[in-house]
Amino acid sequence: MKHLIHTLNKAFDNRVRLGVMAVLMANEAVSFNDLKEALDLTDGNLASHVSALEKAGYVLVNKQFVGKKPNTTYQATKEGKSAFQDHLTALEKLLRGSP
């Protein structure tokens, strides 16, 4: 008997990735440093989680120069947004105890 918990997306089962997605749902594009400060993470830590989300096709990476400085921004893909929504509704269903 398959339970709801098995439908939760493994890509989001981590607090940092939840935070990243939450920020990216609320803001169109967010820079590396803004994300890092917003979530209070070390850069390596953030980089690894973001790259995991990128590999999953859930975030889009945009490397460019702003003035003379490199600037990488991230945004959620359409897939990412809907997968995240699905994850949230599954979570809610699970937590409201209504199978």
Contacting a copy of itself within 20-39 (CB under 8 A) = 22-23, 25-26, 37-39
Closest separation between CB of residue 19 and a copy of itself, Å? 4
Residue 35 tokens read as 């994300």
Contact 73, 24 (CB under 8 A): no
In whole angstroms, give the CA distance from residue 31 to residue 87.
24
Q: Tell me the per-residue interface mask from 23 to 42 with DNA, x by CB under 7 A, - otherwise.
A: --------xxx-------xx
The CB-of-89 to DNA minimum distance in angstroms stands at: 20
Based on the shown chain and the rule CB under 8 A, indicate whether residue 95 belongs to the binding site for a copy of itself: yes
User: Rounded to an integer, what distance in angstroms lies between the CA atom of residue 9 and that of residue 5?
Assistant: 9
CA distance 82 to 76: 10
Binding status of residue 52 toward DNA by CB under 7 A: yes
